Amino acid sequence: MKTVKLEDIIGTDQEIDGGNWVSRRLLLAKDGMGYSVHDTIIKAGTETHIWYQNHLEAVYCIEGEGEVVTLKDNKVHEIKAGTIYALDEHDEHLLRGKTDMRMVCVFNPPITGREVHDENGVYPVIKE
């Protein structure tokens, strides 16, 4: 069994500041679970273009308010504490923080922690 404390991730190379967000990577590909888990803060007043062509992601909001706009249909999905959204079709989207939002994100396949969004909002698949 493995345990990870958020306090032990903060300030390490597993805490990534993406400008509009800060992702604390709790479980990564190296942990061998088949998915990765992140505690992420989306900053108020930001808009981030994301398109995970190589990953499926589920996101559970535990604090704050915002919205996701799916670009294929321009549908606006309100997000608030207690809401989960699943990008089950590799949905290209805009994530907007109305307030700071705290999100729990799960990626399949798991990320390694070294990925960086490209100009299209895509993470590459990096094999360990």
Average pLDDT rounded to a whole number, residues 72-91: 97
Which amino acid makes up residue 58? A
- Does the pLDDT at position 122 exceed 70? no
Which region, left, alpha or beta, applies to residue 125 given φ > 0 means left and ψ of -120 to 50 means alpha? Answer: beta
Cis, peptide link before residue 110, omega less than 30° from 0: no
- Does the pLDDT at position 120 exceed 70? no
Per-domain residue ranges of the chain: 18-108
> Is 18-108 a CATH 2.60.120.10 domain?
yes
CA angle 99, 103, 106 (to 5 degrees): 155
The answer to whether residues 24 and 15 touch, using CB atoms and an 8 Å cutoff, is: yes
Q: pLDDT tens digit string along 95-118?
A: 999 999 999 999 999 988 776 666
Calculate the average pLDDT of the chain: 92
Q: pLDDT tens digit string along 5-29?
A: 999 999 999 999 999 999 999 999 9
